[in-house]
Amino acid sequence: MHIITMITLDKIEVIDKPYKQTYFIGDKVDTDGLKLKAYYSDGTTRTVTSGYTISPKTLSKVGNTKVNVKYQDETINYKALDMEYNFIGYYNKML
């Protein structure tokens, strides 16, 4: 009799955020440098640098935006700063 044990992904965490952290509205999220740590049910871990998906792919509002990272069935997020300079609005305030 053979016993087969399924090893499953328990959780993930961000161990290194992407190199690029500041964006303008409309910029695509750059994941270069993003590293995850995957924790498995048998106690093993693995560093993950690819094979995940992100959302949103493009940043569309001013301020901190949560970028969701999904790897297999687990999702985690990190914050990216989305900035937009509105020079016309700034100029009108100065008048």
- What are the tens digits of pLDDT across the range 36-94? 999 999 999 999 999 999 999 998 887 888 999 999 999 999 988 776 554 444 444 44
- CA distances for 89 relative to 43, 62, 86, 92, 94, angstroms: 54, 14, 5, 5, 9
Q: How many helices (H) and strands (E) does the chain have?
A: 1, 7
Residue located via tokens 């995957």: 38
pTM for the predicted model, two decimal places: 0.78
Phi, psi of 93 (to 5 degrees): -65, -30
State the average pLDDT over residues 14-35.
92
CA angle 28, 29, 34 (to 5 degrees): 155
pLDDT computed for residue 44 by the predictor: 97
Burial class (CB in 10 A: 0-12, 13-18, 19+), 37: middle
Burial class (CB in 10 A: 0-12, 13-18, 19+), 76: middle
pLDDT computed for residue 3 by the predictor: 85
The residue with greater pLDDT, 24 or 34, is: 34
